[in-house]
Copies of this chain bind each other. A is one copy, B any other.
Amino acid sequence: MATVLISGLGLIGSSIARVMRGNDSDIELIGSDPDDDTSQFLLDHHIIDKRMNFAAAAQIADLIVLAGPVSVIISQLKQLANIKLKPDVLVTDVGSTKAAVERAAEPLLAKGVNFVGGHPMAGSDKSGSQFGSQHLFDHAVYFLLTKSQTNRKLIWFQTLMAGTDIHWQAIDAKQHDQLVSELSHVPHVIAVTLVNTIADSLAGNPAGLRAAAGGFKDTTRIAASDPTMWTAIMLSNADQISRELVQFQKHLAAFQQAIQSHDEKTIRETLETLRRIRKSLDEGK
């Protein structure tokens, strides 16, 4: 029987536990999380078998899944390089940025430990183990950053994650971090800034809040996400996010100028071009 340690039992970690449990594989699932309620919830629901301290569990694990915030993943990777692990262990993570994670994994790689970086592109504005789901990764892309792991180990991990329709996608750290900056981190900064801009004005305006239908709630939904996770993400991908924001600011300044000067032609052309692009996203072209 294999022993799996999942460290970080939030939305992603608890969903991975649910998927592995749902597969009825012959595994023992150990959870490690500083939060008592989270751990107890998963024990009560028989999603994990046991709760243990990270360092102790790491020594007996055949698979270690690091599913905390990026900052925690980075410190745990360094910690693992100083722990006596099982010789055949596979270490993986689910961090939202990968270049910083790969740097932190170097001491572990130097010791010849099997490591593969990972990032499932699934999430929710809800956080916490109770919102996890066996189906969170259905139809989602799961990025893999192959490093020192053997092929046999990688296939074993994918087998444990079977039963959910994951699109496994190989990528390198640089491409990954640029892509998630564009698809996720920069949109997050924008959503947060939008809420910031109008918050004062909307406060104490019940009619306005009730009218906040459709567009506004959609655009800003992700601003309700977990601040700890997002602070770690922004710090670990700061240079890329910052560069993209500078580009965004240039485009926005041009559009603002067109609106301020009532430049109908520029406004219309911008909207028409972008409508075509946005539609092509939905069609997956």
Contacts and interface: CB of A to CB of B under 8 A. Distances in A.
Nearest to A269: B227
Given A248-B193, A260-B238, A218 B215 contact: no
Nearest to A222: B215
B187 A216 contact: yes
A208 interface: yes
Q: How many copies does the complex hold?
A: 2
Interface string A207-242: 111111111111111111111101100110011011
Given A195-B278, A198-B182, A205-B179, A271 B219 contact: no
Contact of A189 (B121, B224, B259, B279): B259
B183 A215 contact: yes
Contact of A235 (B189, B213, B262, B277): B262
A281 interface: yes
Interface of A: 121-124, 140-141, 143, 167, 169, 171, 178-179, 182-184, 186-199, 201-202, 205-228, 230-231, 234-235, 238-239, 241-242, 244-249, 251-253, 255-256, 259-260, 262, 264, 267-268, 270-272, 274-275, 277-279, 281-282, 284-285
A7 to B, nearest CB: 22
Nearest to A260: B242
Contact of A219 (B124, B191, B205, B228): B191
26 contacts: A123-B213, A123-B215, A141-B210, A167-B210, A179-B205, A182-B216, A183-B215, A184-B215, A187-B215, A187-B219, A187-B220, A189-B252, A193-B252, A193-B255, A194-B248, A195-B274, A195-B277, A196-B274, A197-B247, A197-B248, A197-B251, A209-B281, A224-B275, A225-B275, A227-B271, A242-B259
